[in-house]
Chains A and B, each alone.
Chain A
Amino acid sequence: MDFPVLSSVVFVPVVGMVAVMLIPKQNVGAIRWTSLIVSIFPMLASFWITWDYFFNHCGSAAMAYVEGPYNWIPSLNIQYYLGVDGISVPMLFLTGLLTTVSLLASFNIINRVKEYFAFFLLLEAGMMGVFVALDFFLFYVFWEVMLVPMYFLIGVWGGPRKEYAAIKFFLYTLLGSLFMLVSILILYFTSEPHTLNMMTLIEICPTMTHTLQMVCFVFFFIAFAIKVPVWPFHTWLPDAHVEAPTAVSVILAGVLLKMGTYAMLRISWPMFPEALRTLSFWIAVIGAIGIIYGALVSMAQKDLKKLVAYSSVSHMGFCMLGLAAFSSVTAIAGCMFQMVSHGLITGAMFLLVGVLYDRAHTREIAAFGGLGVKIPVYTGIMVLFSMASLGLPGMSGFVSEFMIFVGAFGALSKVLVGICVLGVVLGATYILRMVQNIFLGEFDLARWGGLTEINFREIVSVAPLAVLTIAIGVYPKPLATLMRATLENLVTLMAR
């Protein structure tokens, strides 16, 4: 038997969590370094998987590195079944990278360090698990396991309204998950023989009655849409982002939001093509509303972190638009690109906002001005990611948005896509205004004279994100190749 690489990616962080919990809590340095080193293993493993998948497996849509299905709870036909394909590999890569980056960025946490790092590693295990699970029950377990550390990370180390934000996040996502649970159970009992195996269910589900497909599709959609979050389920997101500590915001924006879109692509889209065809227009409409609404709300924000948070709503709207154009490989690929690119860019944006906040203790955009004079390196990096975020050609954001528009234009209502293109213009507006207000203009020497430049650790943590953003922007082909076979297969499944 091969080395169970996927299981190790999921469970090494759990082992790390236990190890961290055994270190005495006064020994802060050891806790930090242990968790960082532990998180490097899944990161390297996810890099290796990406490398190996690209060279050996990306030609076919079949699952790679499959483990199982082993019987876990035979009385309920629950299996332990893992595997990855072209849509989960990029997500694994992103999760591995962003977790290590966020742990590096968490070294400035001084309050209750041990618990913080323990919860963070548990969070990583949950995220990795979601992207590799192929059994519904297992998927659900990982999906929920993540909520607990996230609740604590926001609630203990968050900002002034942390308790409200934490419980809102927890309740909102739990509500969504329960919709998913009902669908899972309905699918289990209507499939013959009863199964929770996602791959089998993808084969079986299109033969179910139309009503059943619609009900399950809508329930799954609510569950995943809350996670994305799609307008109008987005209200937990600004609260959670603003209150969460920097590294948690990075994970939230970089990985957690992607779970929603990933799950749609993995589960509900290929499983219920009939329902998808019926509802795709409306999905595109709420995607478009998300794009425009998120951009408009971003424009009105006075708080820098809130601006980035609402820009996520707008960017994830593009993903939904790409997903609604399910008949086009280009659009779906664009959606995947957007997921990766948004993870990199917004992750970096949150890191940078955190860097500024640590020094200035405020995030109010109007409080700054002319910072470009005082901290040029920080300004340079921030402007780079701002440009990537507004979709400047040569960066990954442009590639993804372009692909989504090209794909969606052929597949969806042209008026609707036209409206969405306006979202890009609005995006440029709020980003440029933000850049102008913070980095250009008059410098308040009395207030910000003591501001220090971004330090080496912080540069190290954003550097890989910057490199990847530009690399994907300049040469997107490898990523496209990696996903092609899987996406083509998905599109055929959705055309059934």
Chain B
Amino acid sequence: MEWQLPEYNLQMMLPEIFLFLWALAVMTFDLVTKRKTGSAVGYLSLLGLLVTGFILSVTGYGRGFTTMFFNDPMSLFFKIIFLGSAFMAIASSFGITKQKIVNHRGEYFGLILLSAVGMMFLSSSNELLSLYIGLELTTIPLFVLAAFFKDDKLSVEAGIKYFVVGAFSSALLLYGLSFLYGLSGTTDLVQMKINLAITHLTFKNIGLILSLAVVLLVAGIGFKLALPPFHQWAPDVYEGSPTPIAAFLSVGSKAAGLVAFAKIFLNGLSAFYSPVMAPNDWGKLAGLLACLALIIGNVLAIRQSNIKRMLAYSSIAHAGYIMIGMVAMNELGIASVGFYLFAYLFANMGAFGVVAIFEDKSGSCQITSYAGLSKTSPLLSISMTVFLLSLAGIPPLAGFLAKYYVFAAAIKVAATDPAFSWMYWLVGIGLLTAVFSLYYYANVIKQMYFSAELSPYRISFSAPAMSVLLIGLIGVFLFGLYPEPILQFASKMSLVFGFVQY
């Protein structure tokens, strides 16, 4: 066979390349100007994200590097989420960079951008090795960012913890991937799907190794998603790291883990999701983790007194809801995963934005310090209320429709295929724990509104902080009341996977 150079199609990768260069430029700019430029570095990073968004919109669908790099509806959808979360994380960082990170602004913003590059690369990759590289590029900057307050014990602890857990989970993931490669002889996900089925049908005895691979992969990605029992790092890391980084972890990094999960399981291992392939049925395993995430996240969040820890547990629970849509594994399921993340992006980044703004002024993350805030800062309080109610799933906000959609996907599978009637239990637990979740979200609202005392803090916003609130509010209301375009877009994602139509 004659050796042929692969078809590079570099322009497919233009958004990633641009953002990568821009990240380096941001860091250099800060150095060259001897770190005297104030907030300009931050605005520069925001500009970079906007330009990347524009480039993304004109790039279009296609593929590069033969079959390694795909620009398909799914990668586009997720890239929007990554860019959005990076944008909102950077916009809510202006207070922190002014007060605490005066001398390392360039690195701070640059690393966020680099992490976003990793996520974008990951969501486009269609092959195990590049997938893994994308995942590493996502997490390694985040290790540094989590430990960014060098003098703060909690932040350093967060950095180390996240690093150790992250490295360990990457190793698990890599080990699992190596089994998949051994069984299929390819790293290409689409080819792997075919090869695995052939191997399974030919040899009949790959069950044990495949199960091992599935367990390792679920554990590896479970760590990244903070799905119980791999969740213990999350609250500590969220508490210690700078608030905008915690926000970015909870949305961007989580979405990256989910897209990796979708690629490996919904695509590569899709043949092994069903009772027919009984011993290797990963659906129930993932369902079990989702169930644990719902219970542990929602129950433990009730007891938290630190709002960042509370939001950490709540984000564990939200990962559980998203996993319900994931294990539903039909065209509705993957669309609901996308829509849920989209709704979650606005509400959660918004809520963390409020926490960051409040922390800049008060220096406190205790829920009790929000007491009486509605009297001194009505706009901040009403925004926080809206974000929390959306997270709790109260209509007509986007969070409600997201939950509705996820449950619809699960009930659809359960109602049409008797083999999946266990999904009813998943839905039941999801709904029951949603009641729990309302309790802890309402607890914050209670502090802000019901308390008789007057808050000592009168919060004023900078323009970027205001933009976070506005983007969040508009997103939560708009996609709650008029979700059709996003739903249409999200449902295109299922074209990427060859789902069985019921």
Contacts and interface: CB of A to CB of B under 8 A. Distances in A.
Interface of A: 73-76, 112, 115, 137, 140-141, 144-145, 147-148, 151-152, 155-156, 162-163, 166-167, 170-171, 174-175, 178-179, 181-182, 185-186, 188-190
A144 B395 contact: yes
Given A174-B435, A185-B408, A186-B411, A145 B396 contact: yes
Contacts of A186: 411, 415
Interface stretch (B71-79, B122-130, B438-446): B438-446
B389 A148 contact: yes
A156 B407 contact: no
A75 B450 CA distance: 40
A189 B412 contact: yes
A156 B381 CA distance: 14
Interface string B461-502: 000000000000000000000011001100100000000000
A56 B389 CA distance: 43
Given A156-B450, A170-B442, A181-B431, A189 B416 contact: yes
Contacts of A76: 404-405, 408, 487
Interface in B374-406: 374-375, 389, 394-396, 400-401, 404-405
Contacts of B488: 75
B109 interface: no
Nearest to A172: B435
A73 B408 CA distance: 14
Interface of B: 374-375, 389, 394-396, 400-401, 404-405, 407-408, 411-412, 415-416, 427-428, 431-432, 434-435, 438-439, 442, 446, 449-450, 483-484, 487-488, 491
Given A73-B487, A182-B431, A145 B446 contact: no
Looking at chain B's contact residues, the main secondary structure is helix
Contacts of A147: 394
A162 B484 contact: no
A170 B487 contact: no
B446 A167 contact: yes
B415 A163 contact: no
A160 to B, nearest CB: 11
B491 A75 contact: yes
B449 A152 contact: yes
A178 B434 contact: yes
B212 to A, nearest CB: 36
A141 B446 contact: no
B442 A141 contact: no
B242 to A, nearest CB: 32
A265 to B, nearest CB: 23
B435 A171 contact: yes
Contacts of A74: 484
A30 to B, nearest CB: 18
A141 B396 contact: yes
A449 to B, nearest CB: 32
A182 B439 contact: no
Contacts of B446: 155, 163, 166-167
Contacts of B432: 175, 178
Contact of B411 (A115, A179, A182): A182
Nearest to A144: B395
B473 to A, nearest CB: 14
A292 to B, nearest CB: 30
Given A76-B405, A167-B439, A189-B416, 4 more contacts: A115-B374, A152-B449, A185-B404, A189-B412
A74 B411 CA distance: 19
A76 B428 CA distance: 21
Contacts of A152: 449
B342 to A, nearest CB: 14
Nearest to A114: B378
A188 to B, nearest CB: 7
- Smallest CB-CB A-B distances: 3 pairs: A141-B395, A178-B431, A75-B487
A163 B445 CA distance: 11
A179 B407 CA distance: 12
A237 B408 CA distance: 32
15 contacts: A73-B483, A73-B487, A74-B484, A75-B488, A76-B408, A137-B404, A144-B394, A145-B395, A147-B394, A148-B394, A151-B442, A155-B450, A162-B450, A174-B438, A185-B408
Nearest to B401: A73
A167 B442 contact: yes
A175 B435 contact: yes
Contacts of B404: 76, 137, 181, 185
Contacts of A115: 374
A141 B398 CA distance: 12
A188 B431 CA distance: 17
B487 to A, nearest CB: 4
B442 A181 contact: no
Nearest to B480: A141
A76 B336 CA distance: 11
A27 to B, nearest CB: 15
A152 to B, nearest CB: 6
Given A171-B439, A181-B407, A182-B411, A144 B400 contact: yes
A156 B445 CA distance: 11
Contacts of B438: 170-171, 174
Contacts of A163: 446, 450
**Taking each of A76, A162, A171, which has the highest tally of chain B beta carbons within 10 Å of its own beta carbon?**
A76
A412 to B, nearest CB: 33
A201 to B, nearest CB: 15
A36 B272 CA distance: 63
A145 B397 CA distance: 10
B450 A185 contact: no
Nearest to B428: A182
Nearest to A140: B395
Given A155-B449, A156-B450, A171-B438, A189 B484 contact: no
A112 to B, nearest CB: 8
Nearest to B439: A171
A165 to B, nearest CB: 11
B439 A73 contact: no
A189 B434 CA distance: 22
Nearest to A142: B395
Nearest to B339: A75
Contacts of B375: 112
A147 to B, nearest CB: 7
Contacts of A145: 394-396
**Taking each of B416, B428, B449, B491, which has the highest tally of chain A beta carbons within 10 Å of its own beta carbon?**
B449
Contacts of B484: 73-75
A436 B328 CA distance: 64
Contacts of B439: 167, 171
A144 B392 CA distance: 12
Contacts of B487: 73, 75-76
